[in-house]
Structure 1
Amino acid sequence: MDYNKAKPDDRSDNAEKLEQMVQNTYENIEKAEETIQFSDGENIQKIKDKNEKRRASIEGMKAEIQDETNAQNNKYQ
């Protein structure tokens, strides 16, 4: 067996994986916002800050989804 040969990069399900990650991140935002009512001032700000980072991450993932979709449509050329 030749271990030096690299496996071809299988990107066929990347867009689907990214879409699931976006959905999971939205769910995490919702859960975090639900906990705000039980938190004190310092923790509320931490939750809000983290959710802002999550929203920025979602935007990045959406851009990656678009890139992957375009790559699939162009047959990765």
Structure 2
Amino acid sequence: MKNKPDDRRDNVDKIQHNISNTIENFHLTQEAIEKTDDGKMKKALEEKNDRREDAINGMKSEMRDESIDKRNGYR
């Protein structure tokens, strides 16, 4: 069985797609937080959004790195 070569040409696009999806989920969760009266649920949703913010920052950093690598021809 032959392994596929590492193809990173579309990594920036994939990361951007993931960032967009995560931001959309963040906003949807913010709406849910505003609508709920359940304190326990509100806390769980806020914690989830905190993790999303961390993930978004990490993905943005990864996207910058991938953009630099792409510009440099993945050397």
Normalization by structure 2: what TM-score?
0.92
Question: What residue is the counterpart of 1:20 in the other structure?
Answer: 17
The amino acid of 2:60's aligned partner reads K
Tell me the number of residue pairs that the alignment of Structure 1 and Structure 2 aligns: 74
Flag structure 2 segments of 5+ consecutive residues without an equivalent: none
Question: What residue is the counterpart of 1:75 in the other structure?
Answer: 73
Segments of 4+ in structure 1 off by > 4 A? none
Question: What residue is the counterpart of 1:30 in the other structure?
Answer: 27
**Aligned residues with identical type, % of pairs:** 39
Inter-partner Cα distance in structure 2 for 1:39 and 1:60 = 31
Cα-Cα RMSD:
1.0
Question: What residue is the counterpart of 1:48 in the other structure?
Answer: 46
SS in 2 for 1:75: coil
Inter-partner Cα distance in structure 1 for 2:17 and 2:37 = 28
Normalization by structure 1: what TM-score?
0.90
| Structure number with bigger Rg | 1
Flag structure 1 segments of 5+ consecutive residues without an equivalent: none
1:9 to 6, 12, 26: 6
